[in-house]
Structure 1
Amino acid sequence: MAASTSLALVLAVVLCCGCAATVSAAANSSSGDDFLRCLTAGVPSQLVVTQGSSSFTSVLASSVRNPRFLAPGTKSMDKGAVDAVTKWQTLAPELPEELTIRVVVQNKQARFQSLYLGTCDQLLPVMSSKLPELAMTRADCQEMSWLQSMVYINGAGTTSTPVEVLLNRTTSLSTYTKNKSDYVKQAISKASWEKIFPWFDGAGAGLIILEPNGGRVSAIADGDTPYPHRAGVLYNIQYVAFWPTTATAAVPDWIKNVYKFMEPFVSSNPRAAYVNYRDLDIGENTVTAGGVTSYESGRLWGEKYFGAANFRRLALTKGKVDAGDYFQNEQSIPPLVTKK
C-alpha cells in the first residue's frame, strides 16, 4: 500500500478524532473511553493526529499539498490484460510504500491506475522493472497534487477540472449504483481470470475495482482496529453495478450473478466484506420485541465486516454506551450486555 494511502489514513484519523474530541468531555467513564478510542489502541501514535495536536495544521497541509503522480495504463483482454492482472495480484501488495496500483476491469479491459509519491522520472524505472507489461512511458505519467488526483480518479479524468468541484455536494449522477465487496487471499489463476473477464462486457455489465493491501495496512494487527482484513489479504474487490435513475426496474441481476460466480475465488467462512461498501444483501438486523437489536442477527453481517472477535468487542462497547439501542439501523452494531 503506497504512502499516498497512508496519508489518506492520516486525514481520516484527523477527521474522526476531531469529531470524538467534541464529545470526550461528556464521556469521562471507562466505557466512554473505550467508545472514543474506537479500538485504535494499537495504531502507531504518529498516525493519530487530533485537532489538539501541535502538528495538526502541518500534517493536514502537507497531506493536501504533497505531490502525487498518476500513471494510468489500459490493457484489453486480447492484448495482455489477463496476464497483467494475474501478475498484479501478488506484485501490488509488495510494491514500495510510496507506490500503489489499483485495477479497474470493465468492458473486457483492465485499466491500471497508480499513485506515486515522487517524480515521474523516478517512477518510470520502477514501473519498467515491476510491470513491464504496461509499457509505461513518460507520456503516461501526470504530475499533480494529492487533491487534484482525487478529482482526476473520481470521475474528471482530466487535470483541468478545478479542485473546488469537491465542494459541490449536489450529485450530478444520472445513474443509480449498487456495490458489493470481497477479499482475495490466494491469487486467482490465469485460467480463472479468462473466465471472469467476459462478465464485464455487454449490456447491463458493471465493473470491478481491485485495491491492493500491503504496506501499513498489512503491518497493523487484525485486532488493533475494528478493520480486520490485513496480513494475508492480497486485495479487495469492489463490484459496481449501474442503472438509469429513470428506470423502474430493480437492481440489475448482473451484480448478484457475478458475485455468486466469484465465490470460489475469494475469502470464506465467513466471506468477508468491506464495511464502507455497505451491502444489505449479506444480512440485516432483527429487532426484538423490546426494541433492541438481536446480537445473533448482527453477527450474520458484522463478522463479515469486522471479524468475530472485533465484532464482539464492538457489541460489548455498544452495550456500555447504548444498551437500549437508541441508535440503530439495518446494520448498526447491536448492544451486547454481559451479566455481572
Structure 2
Amino acid sequence: MLRVEYREGLYLPDLDLWFDADGPRERCVISHAHSDHIAEHRGIVATPETARLFQHRRGEAEVEALKYGERRDYGRYALTMYPAGHCLGSAQILVEADGERLVYTGDIKLRPNVTAEQAVVVPCDTLVMESTFGDPQYRFPPDVATYDRLYAACDRALSGDAVPVVLAYALGKSQEALELLLRRGYRVMLHGSVYNVSEVYRECGVKFSGEYERYERGNVEGRVLITPPGCRRQPMILNIPRRYLIMLTGWAMSKSAPYMYKDVDLVLPLSDHADYDDLVRLARESGAQRIITMHGAKKFAGYLRELGLNAEHLAQHPSQQKKGSTKRAAAGSERKLFE
C-alpha cells in the first residue's frame, strides 16, 4: 500500500505528491483555501473555486484546475476531486495508483452546507481523514435547532436596540451564516474581509438570497454584523454601545466552552466540520481497509479500532520533529477559535 507521511503537510513519498503543505512547494494539491492549508506554492492543483480563493488570499500561482468528478491521469497515478462540504470549492482527493484507491478528505462536513457543495462518501482502500471533532463529546444537535437559536438571539438583540454580532471565520462559515440570515430577511453588514470573500463566492456563482453591505462605522443599527472572531476585542466591536456577541463554532460542545468563550454572550455549535458521529459514519461507509486520522483528536483512531476498524493516527515524520512549532501546530489555537 502507498506510504503516507506527515512532513508539515500530507506527503505520499512513493509518488512524490504533496497535499496542503505548510511551506512553499514546487507543486501541491490543495483541498481548500483556509489559511492553515495553503502556502505560497509555485503551482497548485485544486478545484476552480479553491484556485480562485487561493489567488485572492495568496496571490498568483500556476493553477491546474480539476472540477468535481473529473479524473486526470498523471502517468504514475490519477487524481479525482469530490466535494467535501467544508467551504466553497473544498475537495476530497482520490488518488489511484498501483491498483490502490486512497482518499484524503481534507477538512470535511457531511451535513448540508448552504454555500458549499454537498459532501459525498468516496469508496476507497485507504482513507486519510481529519479528526477535528473525533471525540464523543462533539455530537452536534440538529442544524435546524441551532438555526432557530441563532434567529432567536438576533431577534432579541434587535428588539432591545442592540447589534447582533455574529463571530465566524472569514472564509466559509461567514458565508454560511450570511446566507442563513438573508433567508430569514435580516439586514446584514459584513466586516471587510468577510465582504471580500463573499464577493469571490459571487464571482464563482454562489447566489445569496439577498443583498448585503460592507461595514461602515456608525451605521450598524438595525443590522446583523458578521465579523471574524478576533475582531471582538478590537475598537470596531468595542465601540458599539449595545452589542450581543454570538460565536459560531463546533467547540461550543466542549466542556471548556464557558471558559474559552467567556467574553461572548452566546456560543452556538454551527461548524464547517463533521461531528463525531459523522466522522465514524464516514470511516465505516468508505469501506477502507486502512484508516489514517490526522489534524485532530489522536484518540479517535482508538475509538475506530474499538469499532473493529483498522485505524491509526498519523504522527509527524521523525525528520520534522526537531524543527519545533510549525504553522500547522500554531493553527491548533486558531482552530479552537474558528472551526
Which one has the bigger helix percentage? 1
TM-score, length-normalised on structure 1? Answer: 0.25
TM-score, length-normalised on structure 2? Answer: 0.25
Larger radius of gyration: 1
